[in-house]
């Protein structure tokens, strides 16, 4: 009876130590991956952000969403400076924020243009109605 009890407890302690070893390996691997990311310049994110800023400018962001465009452009410039200073985590964070500011600016510009097009259409419809009323009289 004692022998069976020892085998069971040995098996459980082996399982527990194996589980602990797996968790330690996972934690070590995760930290190494994160450390590897921190050491690399965020070139891809920077390129995506530049593209987003250019799209926002093309969509009319400077005219229809000036505050958001200024914020995006300022953060993009700060990200560039952080990259040159090898502060890659800060550069990545700023580039991501700049990308989202640019995307907001682009959407606001698109919405403003759509609203203007709607107003122009409504004005055209109103003019056609008035023209039709004059023809009837």
Q: Is the pTM of this model over 0.95?
A: no
**Residue ranges in the chain modelled with pLDDT below 50:** 6, 10-11, 15, 30-36
Provide the pLDDT for residue 48: 96
Q: How confident is the model over 17-47, as pLDDT tens digits?
A: 556 555 555 555 544 444 445 579 999 999 9
- Residues contacting residue 48 through CB under 8 Å, at least 6 positions apart: 95, 99
- Count of C-beta atoms within a 10 Å radius of residue 30: 10
């Amino acid at each position: 009876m004692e022998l069976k009890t020892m085998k069971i407890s040995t098996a459980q302690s082996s399982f527990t130590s194996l589980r602990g070893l797996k968790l330690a390996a996972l934690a070590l691997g995760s930290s190494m991956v994160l450390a590897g990311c921190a050491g690399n310049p965020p070139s891809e994110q920077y390129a995506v952000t530049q593209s987003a800023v250019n799209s926002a400018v093309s969509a009319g962001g400077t005219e229809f969403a000036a505050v958001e465009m200024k914020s995006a452009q300022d953060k993009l410039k700060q990200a560039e400076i952080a990259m040159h200073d090898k502060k890659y985590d800060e550069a990545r964070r700023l580039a991501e924020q700049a990308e989202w500011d640019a995307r907001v600016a682009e959407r606001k510009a698109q919405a403003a243009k759509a609203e203007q097009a709607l107003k122009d259409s409504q004005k055209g419809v109103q003019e056609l109605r008035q023209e039709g009323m004059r023809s009837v009289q």
